[in-house]
Amino acid sequence: MNAPLLLNEVIPGEYGLLCALLIGFGMGFVLERAGFGSARKLVSQFYLFDMTVFKVMFTAIVTAMTGVYLLSSAGQLNLEQLYLAGTFLWPQVAGGLLLGVGFVVGGYCPGTSAVACASGKLDALANMGGILAGMLLYGTLYPLLAGFVTSSSLGKQTLYGYFGLPYGLVVVAVILMAAGGFVGATLVERKFAHLKPAEEPTAPEGS
């Protein structure tokens, strides 16, 4: 197959943005189907009575991870050509914590805010405005922050490379971990079911 198809010009480069549009369409469609156009559905993850975010995310990771592993092992997909972001330990710890806090305060992550906005949620529009404002804040402060965000660089690192384990073994371990996580998530949902608010997601005006 000689994938990535666009990078190896199996598919001409001028179709790149069409691919981007189609891939985005698929992503937005599936996220909305999963219920991720709803802030209350998303944040339920953090009140433990509905772990859909965890289930969807880890099923997606397992599916794509297994596909990449199988295709690259079969020589159909060149792993070296896939974009692997470098690891910057402390900026990524801080960034993760900040994004997590922003997620539970705002009700969306950046991708799901776009989905929710497209399905009529004005709070998601405000969230997108906040993201743009945050980018402006970051851009304005960038000269001060540049030192931190480029600190503690470990280079391009994978879990299997960093810990010196076979790629296939880590793939299997993640699959098993996810399976265990799904069982655990269902148990947790049952235990915290009492936290679930009444079904109708938006309270009437003035209540």
Site for another protein in 35-94 (CB under 8 A): 35, 37-41, 43, 45-47, 52, 55-65, 67-68, 71, 77, 81-89, 91-94
Site for another protein in 128-167 (CB under 8 A): 128-140, 142-143, 145-146, 148-149, 154, 157-162, 167
Residue position matching structure tokens 């503690």:
152
Residue 18: Cβ within 10 Å count: 10
Min dist. Cβ of residue 37 to another protein (A): 6
Per CB under 8 A, does 179 bind another protein?
no
Per CB under 8 A, does 188 bind another protein?
no
Min dist. Cβ of residue 75 to another protein (A): 13
Residue type, 202: T
Per CB under 8 A, does 191 bind another protein?
no
Residue type, 167: Y
Residue 8: Cβ within 10 Å count: 12
Residue 116, classified by CB atoms within 10 Å of its CB into exposed (0-12), middle (13-18) or buried (19+), is buried
Contact 182, 55 (CB under 8 A): yes
Provide the mask over 94-133, with x wherever binding to another protein is found by CB under 8 A and - wherever it is not: xxxxxxxxxxxxxxxxxxxxxxxxxxxxxxx-xxxxxxxx
Per CB under 8 A, does 183 bind another protein?
no
Per CB under 8 A, does 184 bind another protein?
no
CA–CA separation, 171 vs 24, rounded Å?
Answer: 26
